[in-house]
Amino acid sequence: MIFYFSATGNSRYAADYLARRFHDRTVDIAQALREEPRSYPLQPGETVGFVLPTYFYGIPVILHAFLDELQFETEERHYTYLVLTCGAMTGSAGDQFAGMLQDRDYRISAYYSVRMPDNYLPMFNPPPPEKVDELLAAADRELDGIAVDIELRMSGNCDHHRGPFPGLITKLLYPGYRRGRKTGKFRATDACISCGKCAAACPCEAIQVKDGRPVWVESQCVFCMGCINGCPTQAIQYGAATKKRRRYQNPRVK
């Protein structure tokens, strides 16, 4: 079983890649959070995977709510792995997630990382299509190596994209993410066609369509950028910086 959280498709792509390799099943965490109960039966010897994006060198805050209610119907300890997707570095996100599991009496067996196209629009312009193809080809090679390690039941920290001073960079930047995540700068321009895709996709249910326009009804969200990247008319902006930037959705995920 492979659990994934994905807004623009990168982590879903990695999860689907591994699921095909292992003939495994996937669970969309955002969808699971809308359902009850969150208890999953496991077969003897079945592996448990988590595929997650890296936000500010840490784990998306939405995972706390998911893990708080996650239960497995099993009597054994299953090999459990984490695959982090990142634009550049993961910092100590793997250690952070291992601690989150340990606090809930679960153990992580191994954690890995794979680089994908960066798409945090408030700070970066996503790469052009030709660079995206190059990055995804490299990601396929990384995922193939990760799959081999999982088949061999490798253990420990196998994250090769932690970067320099991983603990320090997470300690410095992640708290700002947890305190921030303000929705006040999101807005919809006149290009909005009232399709409602942003509201339907928001994992925090922070968006409602009122009078034909999206309105951010929560002061904070997970900051996944799914709304701004997924808008079919590029009507959603975050402040002034995103107006001239490309949008990104993993082209291999439909």
Rounded Cα distance between 69 and 66, Å, is 6
Rounded Cα distance between 103 and 101, Å, is 5
The percentage of residues in the chain with a pLDDT greater than 90, rounded to a whole number, is: 97
Domain with CATH 3.30.70.20 in the chain: 186-239
Sign, CA dihedral 110-115-117-119, equals positive
Rounded Cα distance between 97 and 5, Å, is 14
pLDDT of residue 254: 83
pLDDT of residue 38: 84
Domain with CATH 3.40.50 in the chain: 2-177
Rounded Cα distance between 210 and 215, Å, is 7
Contact between 92 and 166 (Cβ < 8 Å): yes
b/e burial code for range 233-249 (CB count within 10 A of at least 16 → b): ebbbbbeeebeebbbbb
The percentage of residues in the chain with a pLDDT greater than 70, rounded to a whole number, is: 100
Rounded Cα distance between 249 and 10, Å, is 8
The answer, yes or no, to whether residue 37 has pLDDT greater than 80, is no
Strands 207-210 and 213-216: antiparallel
Q: How confident is the model at residue 226 (pLDDT cuts 50, 70, 90)?
A: very high
Strands 186-188 and 236-238: antiparallel
Task: Encode pLDDT of 39-95 as tens digits.
Answer: 999 999 999 999 999 999 999 999 999 999 999 999 899 999 999 999 999 999 999
Average pLDDT along the chain = 96
The answer, yes or no, to whether residue 36 has pLDDT greater than 80, is no
Rounded Cα distance between 122 and 248, Å, is 13
Task: Encode pLDDT of 93-108 as tens digits.
Answer: 999 999 999 999 999 9
Residues 6+ apart with CB under 8 A from 242: 121, 122, 228
For the domain made up of 186-239, give the CATH fold.
Alpha-Beta Plaits (3.30.70)
pLDDT of residue 92: 98
Rounded Cα distance between 241 and 253, Å, is 27
| DSSP-derived 3-state class of residue 77 | coil
For the domain made up of 2-177, give the CATH fold.
Rossmann fold (3.40.50)
Question: What's the rounded mean pLDDT across residues 138-164?
Answer: 97
pTM: 0.96
